[in-house]
Amino acid sequence: MQIKTGQRWDIFCRIVDNFGDIGVCWRLSQQLAYEHHFQIRLFIDDLTVSSKIIRSLNCNLQSQIINQIEICRWPLASDNIKPAEVVLETFSCALPFEYIAAMQNNTMWLNLEYLSAESWVADFHARSSNNTKPSRHFYFPGFTEATGGLIRESSIFQQNQKFAHDLQLQSEFFNHLNLTQETTLKVSLFCYPHAPIHELLNALAASNQSMNCYVPASSILPKVLDFFGVDDNKKIRSEIASNSSVRKLSYKNLNLVILPFLSQTDYDRLLAICDINFVRGEDSWVRAIWAAKPFIWLPYLQTEDTHIKKLNAFLNRFYANGNATTKTVVDEVHFAWAKGNFTTRNWQNYLEHLPAIRQITLEAANQLATQTDLAAKLVIFLQKL
């Protein structure tokens, strides 16, 4: 199949874990439309959740066009939808039976898998299943050229670097949020509710320097507010959601700022500004890499400690060029965070080695930014089939 400008792609997204799935699908859809000029139709099964990411989304419509993307409600409103030339099934979300039945033998059908740094990914990347018609190919994102690559818009790395060093842009960003630029150490916090949040906040508060922690509105707010002993935190969460306002809380050396739910663009900017970023899952994890700032990643919780294996594989790959002492500190803080036994000592050790961690992170992110990005590799892969 020849990949041409204007070619039609259908992307299917099932919301499993709040914003991660739609975050990835929305970024990829826009990049394929803007940079590769394809006609993208995005099918989503939960418009309400998606509207937090796609701000102008009307949840009452069956179909609408936003940012050049046609967004359709799933389940399909009609059985008579003609499949596109390229079909992207994200994260094994299972295409509708009637849609599969309407696909032609020359339809290019890919399943976009979850991101992992494990060594087996390269072996399974691009394999096909011959028990379906048309054949389905399994596409694995990853951290080497032998995999499907990482989502990276053409200018995001350079934009983040500019934002990280431009105090005027940073000041304008904080003014946009009704905040002022601070000179203290800046930390962003986005994680799963099972993380040892109280232990982390205690460690931040006990630090030997003042620091600001920025928490975008998410499912961890009840735990954050409980740490500060805030009464009626349900009411406060509702006010933050409805008024797009910020709330400031302080304890010892910790100044915590609860932010409203941020757009993807604003979240990228927050990551670029902060000195340390706590991120989770897949979407914010990759965005932290492109911010090129020290980050602590919390993988999605899985049975049999599969998430710990994924974490270990990533740490070994991303920090491979760091010295042994720094690598040990990075490993300790990540495993303490992931296993729920985070301590003040973990945090202080991390801060003491922050300059070295900052340099390693920048070098690793720079190296990854030289690789072909996921959208471009998708196009190349289809051309070679």
Place of tokens 């070994």: 316
State the pLDDT at residue 317. Answer: 97
Q: From its phi and psi, is residue 68 left (phi > 0), alpha (psi between -120 and 50) or beta?
A: left
Distance CA(55)–CA(65), nearest Å, equals: 13
Q: How confident is the model over 208-236, as a mean pLDDT?
A: 89
Q: What is the largest CA-CA distance in the chain?
A: 65
Letter string b/e over residues 66-89, b meaning 16 or more CB atoms within 10 A of that residue's CB: beebbbbbbeeeeeebebbbbbbb
Please report, for residues 82, 88, 252, the alpha-carbon distance to residue 92 in angstroms, rounded to integers and kept in the order given: 21, 10, 46
Confidence of residue 238 (pLDDT cuts 50, 70, 90): confident
Q: How confident is the model at residue 1 (pLDDT cuts 50, 70, 90)?
A: very low
* Mean pLDDT computed over 28-53: 96
Beta bridge partners, 71, equal 42, 64
For residue 145, is pLDDT > 80? yes
Kindly tell me if the per-residue pLDDT of 195 is higher than 80.
yes
Residue 209: partners with Cβ closer than 8 Å, 6 or more residues away: 184, 185, 253, 351
At residue 70, the 3 state secondary structure works out as: strand
DSSP 8-state symbol, 54: S
Strand order in the sheet with 108-112: 63-66, 69-73, 39-44, 8-13, 86-90, 108-112, 136-139, 128-129
> Minimum mean pLDDT among 98-107, 191-200, 264-273: which range?
98-107
What pLDDT does residue 242 have? Answer: 66
Cα–Cα distance measured from residue 331 to residue 319, given in angstroms and rounded to the nearest whole number: 9
pLDDT-derived band of residue 17, with 50, 70 and 90 as boundaries?
A: confident
Amino acid letter at 86?
Answer: V
Integer Cα distance of 216 and 263 in angstroms: 10
Q: What pLDDT does residue 203 have? A: 98
pLDDT of residue 245: 77
**Rounded (5°) CA angle 140-144-146:** 65
Q: Supply the mean pLDDT for the chain.
A: 93
Tabulate helix, strand, coil % of the chain (nearest 5).
45, 20, 40
Question: Mean per-residue pLDDT for 148-160?
Answer: 97
Both tokens assigned to 144:
């080497």
Closest CA to 259 of 376, 172, 177: 177
Percent of the chain with pLDDT over 70: 95
- State pLDDT tens for residues 85-131: 999 999 999 999 989 999 988 899 999 999 999 999 999 999 988 77
Q: According to the model, what pLDDT value does residue 384 have?
A: 87
Give the pLDDT confidence of 247-261 residue by residue, as tens digits.
999 999 999 999 999
Cβ atoms of 285 and 297 closer than 8 Å: yes
Transcribe 302-336 into DSSP letters. -GGGHHHHHHHHHHHHHTTTS-HHHHHHHHHHHHH
338 within 8 A of 311, measured Cβ to Cβ: yes
136-139 and 108-112 beta bridge pairing? parallel
Q: For residues 327 and 334, what is the distance between their CA atoms, to the nearest angstrom?
A: 11
Catalytic residue numbers, as ranges? 21, 282
In the chain, the amino acid numbered 226 is: D
Going by pLDDT thresholds of 50, 70 and 90, the confidence category of residue 81 is confident
Q: Residue 232 — pLDDT band, cuts 50, 70, 90?
A: low
| pLDDT for res 106 | 84
**pTM of the shown model:** 0.95
- 241 pLDDT higher than 80: no
